[in-house]
């Protein structure tokens, strides 16, 4: 994937990236996710949450120093926001970054970090001014080779088992102040803004999982015979496939629309939340249906659908749970920002 340019698809060519738009990126994520969501989440975090954020908000020096390595996959990046007691409630950061001359001293524990064991660069959110609450949070670029970093055991997960997920402990890690992204106190906005784009990536991943399950279920339904005819010719199975095809297409339109809004420089926060919410719920619902269509064969590891079903679940959880997406969407409705959800492009 690194050699083929997938790790820095949206990074500008001047930093060694592919210079592609968000729509091209989601098309790639969708296809890869039909087969392997572990691969697509490694790619999604590196592109959306690490490279895009550094390119959008980093200093010229940070971009020159880090993007060429990240865009080519020489280095893999991790996004370190979640903590044991700060998951959905991301403003409650307990990790601290205290000023000490030209450095910050980083202390704390991050949880559920995708690429945690293999990454060379961590983008870490930490509280520098507790009294300012979320406005005191900073985002720091932390090199893995810095003394004081300990990587916890690899999590034994239900799905996406080929993506390595770890907790990471920081003990008195010295981070140069020049590695802070954006102005003092910008760290929470950085996290929220990059997550808006990240959610489009996870929505594309969920779409790919659903589409992959649909393709397998369709083929199985055409090949497998019961009561003297292919099960596809039994209306109860055909109607399941009709629902799958319809809802997957609806998810696809939402995901592509969010990507297009981002590419057009328009506000895409609530559309990204809608795309992630709908695509991930669709992936969960229809991977379960795909297993059901396969019957007993769907329940064994020899067939790919049980893996897709296990992988689908995480898309309703990471980069903002379905509940958080509903919160983001409902707040946009309440504030009047989403007054015209049917506006055409
Ligand atoms: N863009 C920029 N700024 C934003 C923003 C956005 N989309 N959304 C909120 N903000 C800003 C607000 O303007 C506000 O700033 P000011 O006070 O300066 O105006 C600040 O952020 C706090 O916002 P709220 O008052 O809305 O905060 P809240 O606590 O009520 O709600 C939340 C925030 C939406 C619930 C947020 O905490 C959230 O999204 N939680 C989910 C966290 C999450 O997605 N975690 C994923 C972990 S990363 C991961 O999974 C990666 C991986 O490895 C796969």
341: confidence class by pLDDT, cuts 50, 70, 90: low
Across the chain, what does the average pLDDT equal? 96
Ligand 1 geometric centre to CA of 191 (Å): 7
Checking if the pLDDT of 342 tops 80, the result is: no
**Location of structure tokens 């003394």:** 147
pLDDT in the model for residue 338: 80
Q: Are 8 and 25 in contact (CB under 8 A)?
A: no
* Residue from 57, 192, 195, 338 whose mutation best tests the ligand 1 pocket (most atoms within 8 A of CB): 192
Checking if the pLDDT of 81 tops 60, the result is: yes
Residue nearest to atom 16 of ligand 1 (CA): 135
Ligand 1 geometric centre to CA of 89 (Å): 8
Report the alpha-carbon distance of residue 100 to residue 110 in Å, rounded. 22
pLDDT in the model for residue 336: 86
DSSP string, 327-339: HHHHHHHHTTTTS
Residue nearest to atom 21 of ligand 1 (CA): 189
**Residues with Cβ < 8 Å from 133, sequence gap 6 or more?**
91
Give the pLDDT mean for 162-179: 97
C-alpha count within 13 angstroms, C-beta hemisphere, residue 140: 27
Residue numbers annotated as active site: 319
Residue nearest to atom 34 of ligand 1 (CA): 328
Checking if the pLDDT of 207 tops 60, the result is: yes
Give the pLDDT mean for 249-255: 98
pLDDT in the model for residue 134: 97
* The pair of three-digit structure tokens given for residue 259, joined into one six-digit string: 């990507």
Full 3-state SS string of 133-155: HHHHEEEEEEECCCCCEEECCCC
* The pair of three-digit structure tokens given for residue 112, joined into one six-digit string: 């559920």
Pick the atom of ligand 1 nearest to 44's CA.
54
Checking if the pLDDT of 259 tops 90, the result is: yes
Ligand 1 geometric centre to CA of 63 (Å): 24
* Residue from 190, 195, 334 whose mutation best tests the ligand 1 pocket (most atoms within 8 A of CB): 195
Residue nearest to atom 8 of ligand 1 (CA): 192
* The pair of three-digit structure tokens given for residue 324, joined into one six-digit string: 């958080």
323: confidence class by pLDDT, cuts 50, 70, 90: very high
Ligand 1 geometric centre to CA of 320 (Å): 9
Long-range contacts formed by 234-243: CB under 8 A, 24+ apart: 237/293, 240/289, 240/292, 240/293, 241/214, 241/217, 241/293, 243/286, 243/289
Handedness of CA 72, 75, 76, 82 (dihedral sign): negative
Pick the atom of ligand 1 nearest to 113's CA.
53
Ligand 1 geometric centre to CA of 322 (Å): 14
315: confidence class by pLDDT, cuts 50, 70, 90: very high
Checking if the pLDDT of 339 tops 90, the result is: no
* Residue from 113, 189, 271 whose mutation best tests the ligand 1 pocket (most atoms within 8 A of CB): 189
pLDDT in the model for residue 340: 61
Give the pLDDT mean for 99-127: 97
**Location of structure tokens 């992936």:** 283
Give the pLDDT mean for 213-234: 98
Of 185, 189, 208, nearest to 137 (Cα)? 185
Give the pLDDT mean for 149-163: 97
pLDDT in the model for residue 320: 98
297: confidence class by pLDDT, cuts 50, 70, 90: very high
Checking if the pLDDT of 86 tops 70, the result is: yes
Pocket (CB within 6 angstroms of ligand 1) = 41, 45, 79, 81-82, 88, 90-91, 114, 134-135, 188-189, 192-193, 195-196, 269, 318-320, 324, 327-328
């Amino acid at each position: 994937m690194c050699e083929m340019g997938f790790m820095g698809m949206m990074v500008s060519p001047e930093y060694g990236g592919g210079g592609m738009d968000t729509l091209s990126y989601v098309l790639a994520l969708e296809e890869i996710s039909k087969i392997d969501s572990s691969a697509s989440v490694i790619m999604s975090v590196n592109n959306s949450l690490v490279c895009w954020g550094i390119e959008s908000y980093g200093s010229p020096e940070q971009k020159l120093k880090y993007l060429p390595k990240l865009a080519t996959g020489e280095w893999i990046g991790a996004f370190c926001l979640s903590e044991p007691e700060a998951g959905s409630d991301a403003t409650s950061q307990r990790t601290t970054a205290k000023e000490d001359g030209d450095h910050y001293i980083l202390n704390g524990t991050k949880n559920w970090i995708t690429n945690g064991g293999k990454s060379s660069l961590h983008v870490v959110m930490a509280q520098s001014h507790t009294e300012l609450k979320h406005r005191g949070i900073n985002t720091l670029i932390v090199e893995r080779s810095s003394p004081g970093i300990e990587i916890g055991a690899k999590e034994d997960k239900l799905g996406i088992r080929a993506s390595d997920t770890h907790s990471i402990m920081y003990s008195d890690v010295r981070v140069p102040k020049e590695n802070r992204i954006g102005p003092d106190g910008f760290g929470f906005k950085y996290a929220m803004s990059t997550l808006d784009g990240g959610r489009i990536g996870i929505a594309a991943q969920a779409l790919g999982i659903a589409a992959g399950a649909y393709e397998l279920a369709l083929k199985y339904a055409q090949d497998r015979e019961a009561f003297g005819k292919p099960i596809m010719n039994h209306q109860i199975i055909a109607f399941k496939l009709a629902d799958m095809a319809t809802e997957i297409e609806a998810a696809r339109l939402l995901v592509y629309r969010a990507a297009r809004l981002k590419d057009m420089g328009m506000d895409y926060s609530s559309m990204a939340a809608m795309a992630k919410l709908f695509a991930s719920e669709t992936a969960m619902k229809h991977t379960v249906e795909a297993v059901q269509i396969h019957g007993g064969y769907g329940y064994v590891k020899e067939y790919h659908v049980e893996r897709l079903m296990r992988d689908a679940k995480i898309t309703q959880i990471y980069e903002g749970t379905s509940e958080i997406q509903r919160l983001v969407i409902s707040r946009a409705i309440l504030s009047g920002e989403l007054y015209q959800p049917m506006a055409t492009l």
